[in-house]
Every structure is written in structure tokens, then in C-alpha cells.
Amino acid sequence: MGLTLAEKIIARAAGCESVTPGEIVTCQVDLAMIHDSGGPRRVAPLLERLGVGPWDADKVVVVSDHYVPAVDAESAAILDLTRRWVAANGIRHFYDMRGICHVVLPEHGHLRPGLFVVGGDSHSPTGGAFGAFMFGVGATDMAGVLATGETWIRVPESLRIDWQGELGPGLTAKDMALAQCARLGLDGAGYGAIEYGGSALAALDMAERMTLCNMAAELGAQTALVAPDATTAEFLRLAGADAGSFEDWQSDPDASFAQRHEFDAGALAPQIALPDSPANAVAVEAVDAVAIDQAYIGACTGAKLLDLQRAAAVLRGRQVAPGVRLLLAPASTATTAAAAADGTLATLTAAGAILMPSGCGACAGYGAGVLAAGEVCIASTARNFKGRMGAADSRVYLASPFSVAAAAVAGRIVDPRELLEERA
């Protein structure tokens, strides 16, 4: 029996010829990523008790993205601790206030096909878009990784999700991810490793593949992967990384998948996740014209350059509706620079968008942009759990950047295709 891509990567990291689902193995970690929220302030005390530092400072990446920029003394103290720990331990790969970790990591060429990567954040499966096995762990497990350069893993079952057909105008990977949540549920992946495929998947650029892998966490997956191809290799080349023999990192033709699911991209309508769960996603036609107070274009699933360009396609020549706040938090400072260079930023701000710092921000309920009691927000974020973006009785709807921008213009949730068709 052949191996899946996930099994091949784990076997290589464990020094084995093959592995099987359910087997427990110890793996050598190629890269560890931590951020300011769950990083030094959590792991430093554990490492101090052990009397050790990072096993290999060059294999550790630290990103400050949750508490940036500091909005109070507590946030400032957390960032100060992070910076001092980085300096004391000789961490060269430190990205301070440069953007969200899941976007900054590939921007700087840290991910490559075949790597076994551990991240200190639940959306670490984003790295699977590059053919790496990347998954999130808590502070205790991360301290073990940093101390030894190893971690144990129970080999997960692999699930195959194929997207066939072609996405229509106004449709994105965010709509694909939400449709998966609606059909499969938040525990649909059973902590397995999702492998994406199909003609619609192959047509996606890397930003969209990142969104799809990122939201595998909402399906209860341990990780998600896309087998690397020429699109992967070109992205990595531009990021200064070498994709190597990426053709080697493919599932074998006779590999066994515990589950298989197929979706039709051509039949997909824009998706809106109703409040309190991504699994509450429905087609936009099924949503009443819900009035909104805030539209938020941000987070690792909705504020990369392509996301901003899509929002600009809706907002060009239009204005944000009176009484609506459109907040724009690009996923990284590199994204902001690129959006400024190609005119996207000018289009968005001319329409009334308020530019905010790059970082996790309101998505995780930090800093500016949180919601007051009873307020309604439509956001390009990955999660809309009760109270996540502010007051417990605020309501958050999830959608693509197209849909968020369209709602900002209309003042209510609408089908973005209607506004896009007016441009045709």
C-alpha cells in the first residue's frame, strides 16, 4: 500500500521508511514558529525550569502579531518580554510588527515542500498550502519542541477533499472553506490530515490555497496539505526559497484515504456564515438583508493582497454606506506596501475604508475594531464564535472579501455578484 503525502512527510521526519495511521512516532522538527501571544511569555518559564534554551535558534521563527501595536501597558509588557527573549536567545528570524504569522512565514521563504513544522497557533495548517506538514500545539508541547527539537505524533488518518469544476465570478477559497464547514461540520475531519485536490484546487493561487488550508482548523483537522506543483515552486522562488524536488512530495497512486469528499466549484454560491459558528454557512440567497454596523477586512483568511484587490473591485467608484465602519487591516506590512504600489489601497481608502495596522487585531478580539453590545459585523476572518470579536451579544457573520465589501457599500448583507455585474 502506498503512502499519502502526510504519511511521507511524517515518515521522513521520523527516520522511517513508512508509517501507518494510529502509529505513534517521534519526529525531528524542521521549523518551529511561535508568536507573542502563546510564545515567549508561555514557553520561557518552562524552558527556564528545564535549564535549557532553544535547541537550534536558526530553526525558530518568532512573530509579534497579536498585541501589536501595544494599546495598553499589559500589551506593551508582553511585547517587551518577547523582544528581550528573542535577543537573549539569538533568534535571527524575528518579525516584529510585520504582519500575521501565517502570512509572514511564507512571505519570507520559511516553508518548503516536505518540511515537518510545528506552530504555536491553531491556524498553523496554513503551511500545508506549501506541501509542508504543519500543525498547531499548545505551550507545553512547544516548550518540549524548543528544548529538544523533537515531538511525538500519532500518525493521523488522511482525508481527501476534491474540488472539481471552476469557480464563478465573485467566488473565492473563503466560500469553498465555509461550504466545507457547512457540509462536514466543525469536527468533520476528526483530527485527521486533509489533502486537497481537484481541478478547481489546482487553479487556485497560493493565497487562496493558504485560506483553504488555514480553515481546515475549523473542520477539526490536525493539518491540511496541497501537493506542491509549479504554482508552489514559483511562489517560493519569488520568496527566495527553493522548492527542491517538489514532484517527490505527492501521495502515491495507491495511497489509502479514510474518507473522500467531492465538491462542485461551479455550483457554489457566495457563502455567509451566520453568527457563532463557521458551520452555520449558507448561500447568500438564504440570508435576509441583515443591516450591519461594521465590515472588517482582515485576518489571515481575508486580508492578503488578492483579498484586498477583490474588495477594491467592488468598492471602486463607490462609497461605504452611511453609518457603516469599514475597517481594513492588511495581513502584513508587505501586503500594505504592495496594495499601495498597485493602487488598491487608494481605491479602498477613497471609498471610506479605515486603514489599520497589520496583525491579528479585532479577529481575535485584540486592540482596535472590537464590537460593542448588540453590534453586527461582517468579517473576512476565520471564526465568529460568540464574543470572539467583542461583546458577547454582538453578532459576526463570516464571508469573503467580495461579500464584506459589498455589504459595506449596501449597508446590509447582499450578493456581491450583483455589484460586480454592474461593472460588466
> Which amino acid is it at 152?
W
Is pTM, for the whole model, over 0.85? yes
One-character DSSP codes across 15-58: T-S---TT-EEEEE-SEEEEETTTSHHHHHHHHHHHT---S-GG
Alpha-carbon distance of 202 to 196, in angstroms, equals 9
One-character DSSP codes across 151-191: EEEEPPPEEEEEEES---TT--HHHHHHHHHHHH-TTTTTT
Q: Decide whether 5-264 matches 274-421 in CATH topology.
A: yes
Check: CB of residue 298 under 8 Å from CB of residue 329: yes
Alpha helices in 89-229 (DSSP H): 101-107, 139-148, 173-184, 199-202, 206-214
Give me Rg for the CA atoms of the chain.
Answer: 21
- What's the sign of the alpha-carbon dihedral 236, 66, 38, 196? negative
Q: Is the peptide bond before 69 cis (omega within 30 degrees of 0)?
A: yes
Looking up cell 535549557 gives: 52
100 contacts: CB under 8 Å, gap ≥ 6: 63, 65, 299, 300, 303, 331, 332, 358, 359, 360
- What's the sign of the alpha-carbon dihedral 187, 296, 361, 369? negative
Domain coordinates in residue numbering, the chain: 5-264, 274-421
Position 1 scores a pLDDT of: 83
CA of residue 190 relative to chain centroid, distance: 19
Check: CB of residue 381 under 8 Å from CB of residue 387: no
- Could you name the CATH architecture of 5-264? 2-Layer Sandwich (3.30)
281 contacts: CB under 8 Å, gap ≥ 6: 178, 179, 181, 182, 271, 272, 273, 274, 398
| Digitized pLDDT (tens) for each residue of the chain, 424 residues in all | 899 999 999 999 999 999 999 999 999 999 999 999 999 999 999 999 999 999 999 999 999 999 999 999 999 999 999 999 999 999 999 999 999 999 999 999 999 999 999 999 999 999 999 999 999 999 999 999 999 999 999 999 999 999 999 999 999 999 999 999 999 999 999 999 999 999 999 999 999 999 999 999 999 999 999 999 999 999 999 999 999 999 999 999 999 999 999 999 999 999 999 999 999 999 999 999 999 999 999 999 999 999 999 999 999 999 999 999 999 999 999 999 999 999 999 999 999 999 999 999 899 888 889 999 999 999 999 999 999 999 999 999 999 999 999 999 999 999 999 999 987 6
Check: CB of residue 177 under 8 Å from CB of residue 219: no
Position 424 scores a pLDDT of: 61
Choose which CATH entry (3.40.47.10, 3.30.70.1560, 3.30.830.10, 3.30.499.10) describes domain 274-421: 3.30.499.10
Position 422 scores a pLDDT of: 85
> Which amino acid is it at 99?
G
Alpha-carbon distance of 74 to 323, in angstroms, equals 32
